[in-house]
Chain A
Amino acid sequence: MELYISGSFEAFNVLYERYANKSYQYFAKKTQNNEDANELIQLLFLKMHSSKHLFQNKYKFEQWLFVIARTVFIDFYRRNKKFSYHEPLSDNEFQYFQEPSTFNADKNEVEHLDALSEKEKEILKLRYEDELSFKEISELLSQSEVSLRKFVSRTISKIKAKHGFSNGVSK
């Protein structure tokens, strides 16, 4: 990354060859549309190029790229609003960007997400990971905003109850 920031096109090529296909798979799964996935890939790498000098070595490159990819996807969806989700999100989207040897899911997150239904996981991730508004989620899933708010509130209460939280204090 340092070489790329210093102006090396060869360094960019190495990063591209390493992550382009993984990024494409991520977008293809999100959009279920090759044309949109190709457009998103272009947006991703151009945005990556514009922000390359903001990269800090304390983070892993794939994590940084994943954050940009997610942002690019959300912006694209908000601009176009022409596609909807065709399948629920996987438990950990980040795995698309990781090298197999570095994959290390957070144990606590996996444990408490496993207790939720697929629908609960999907909606929570749309709201808190992808940071979509309730209005956007209601358009995506064709549900009313009111019912979504109640659903999220019930799901969070369920998580709190499972982990023994009471009025914000752990038992």
Chain B
Amino acid sequence: MIDKNIENKIKSTVYQRLNPKPHFIALKFLVIHLFSAVLTLSVCPQFGKKMFNLNIDLMDFFMKITGPKYCLLLCGAFFIGTSLFINSILMNYDELRTIRSHRHLTVIMLVLLSFGSFLMFDPILFLESTMLWFAGALAGGYLSLEFGDFLKRKIAFLN
């Protein structure tokens, strides 16, 4: 017979893992986003702001694809998309499930938080460029969340 204590331990552990604490997920999410922001800002400036002076500049590459006006679409998609993709990989499946169940809130809050941070460094941002960056960021965010979930369900070592 299975020991009752073991049974209770299994059930309580699974219950806790199925229902991760929201504040813990939020904190983990923000830490990962910070790490991702440092990484992406090193290779692709956002609104003219770059983290380190490395030789890699993805903005030039994006400009060649879309032209100088619409490169903000790809910059925004890259910044938010990378953050959400890394979050999808580093979070466990139950944490990711919780984030995806509040995907609209998560993506919109992340985009607003990031934009607010850039605004702090440069209060003068033009409306058109802002809208383009927003559109790219939202699209990149949603796509990355779904792609990350898809990969997690297919590739065992990502878990």
Contacts and interface: CB of A to CB of B under 8 A. Distances in A.
Interface of A: 6-9, 12-13, 16, 20-21, 24, 34, 38-39, 41-42, 45-46, 49-54
Interface of B: 1-3, 6-7, 9-11, 13-15, 17-19, 92-94, 97, 152-153, 156, 159
Given A7-B97, A16-B10, A38-B6, 20 more contacts: A7-B19, A7-B94, A12-B11, A13-B11, A24-B1, A24-B2, A41-B6, A42-B9, A45-B10, A45-B14, A46-B14, A49-B13, A50-B92, A51-B156, A51-B159, A52-B93, A53-B93, A53-B152, A53-B159, A54-B153
Given A24-B2, A50-B159, A12 B14 contact: yes
Contact of B18 (A7, A24, A38, A46): A7
Contact of A38 (B3, B93, B97, B156): B3
Interface centre among A8, A24, A46, A54 (most CB of B within 10 A): A54
Contacts of A20: 2, 7
A52 B92 CA distance: 12
A150 B94 CA distance: 49
A120 to B, nearest CB: 34
B10 A41 contact: yes
Contacts of A6: 97
